A and B are shown apart, each in its own frame.
Chain A
């Protein structure tokens, strides 16, 4: 994880609607294959919702980390 270069940060903290997962889906759809995206969310629910979608849609789930009052979820677009 420490060697992984983040290409795009999606800061969805404070996003009640459309919410962090919707912002992540939007970013993944628009990104080029190979892009590493970091999603920032203040909602704990994102730590289960986002990896669940990443796995279902067949992208590469990298990691989840708790930061100071928010969470960081990293995904790589592989297809």
Chain B
């Protein structure tokens, strides 16, 4: 009897999980006892943290994109055919072309997407950098920026919670290198009452912002933008003007999740330790798709993939498992063009950022190149 594993989504979570399973279950896969099918909507795989560097002309677009088929173990069957329905009760995934994939185990790794259309005026009035096209558009706008006030604002929820800070610090160095600091005012806003969700990071940021002359406001959740007047209004009733607006648009999960009735706004109810979909022991949920109150980040996807691959391997080959996810997340945080800091935390251990250093910056740059080994399930 063949055990069929279907992985929906070819981002970091889906790709790492698929490759780890193909290696862990090598004998079963090569003998036909286990079949791994990956369904994705994109023939390309992008290292998304690279967008930040595209903005500042530090990385070219083609450096952060690979063909998905080149990243996958050859024993994995890849189908570039978007999933349009996930039917857990009948254990089947239906794709856009009408193909049906029956499964014994399902891994949902459909990720998240930006929804700028959810904030009135955001699409017309703002720049962002969470996809290639928008990163290149922001790159060009910054190159042509002659001076004025650049305002930053974040939607909720958004992936990679450190990206807004990294962008701000890197913009400071960008304009410093171009001798434009006297012409540019950076103004950072944040949804909660500090500058980052992690208090130690926030405390350190306040000192850096004051030293660098970066203005900031807290409790600022964007509600609407008036692109004609260059004004942004918050849920809290505040109003700020700008010459250039850069935002992190709010995110939602994949459309197929809502269309299949799996979760409001595309987030799927997930056991935070077993990573199974509530009520479905044979359905795993990983990466941005979960509703676990944890960072939506590549690092989270990576560590969850390790756990799910081990759990499935043990269950398929030995019948059961005790392996669980402890909430581990690790993030490098760029604090400019030359230095970076680093945080790790889990459900029980709060983060303690280390002092920024050149070495950590070079480690981050190194990892940007090593990521392709992570995607292949090697690192």
In the assembled complex, the Cα of A52 lies from the Cα of B218 at a distance in Å of 12
B293 neighbours in A (Cβ, 8 Å)? 10-12, 14-15, 18, 20, 23
Which parts of B326-370 form the interface with A (CB within 8 Å)? 327, 329, 345, 347-348, 350-351
Contact for B295 among A10, A17, A26, A52, CB less than 8 A? A17
Number of interface residues of B (CB under 8 A): 27
Most chain B Cβ neighbours within 10 Å, of A16, A22, A49: A16
Given A15-B294, A18-B293, A21-B192, A30–B265 Cβ distance below 8 Å? Answer: yes
Contact for A17 among B235, B345, B348, CB less than 8 A? B345
Docked-complex contact B191 and A45, CB < 8 angstroms? no
B191 neighbours in A (Cβ, 8 Å)? 22, 25
B295 neighbours in A (Cβ, 8 Å)? 17-18
Query: Is residue B157 contacting chain A, with contact meaning CB distance below 8 A?
Result: yes
Give the bracket for the number of chain A residues in contact with chain B.
20 to 34
Query: Is residue A34 contacting chain B, with contact meaning CB distance below 8 A?
Result: no
Query: Is residue B320 contacting chain A, with contact meaning CB distance below 8 A?
Result: no
Most chain A Cβ neighbours within 10 Å, of B197, B198, B264, B347: B197
B193 neighbours in A (Cβ, 8 Å)? 21, 49, 52-53
Docked-complex contact A25 and B351, CB < 8 angstroms? no
B85 neighbours in A (Cβ, 8 Å)? none
Docked-complex contact B294 and A17, CB < 8 angstroms? yes
A29 neighbours in B (Cβ, 8 Å)? 156, 221, 235
Given A23-B293, A29-B156, A57-B235, A16–B192 Cβ distance below 8 Å? Answer: no
**What are 8 A-B pairs at a CB distance below 8 A?**
A17-B161, A18-B197, A18-B295, A19-B192, A21-B193, A22-B156, A23-B293, A29-B221
Give me 5 other A-B pairs in contact (C-beta within 8 A), A16-B345, A22-B192, A57-B235 excluded.
A17-B295, A21-B193, A21-B197, A25-B191, A52-B193
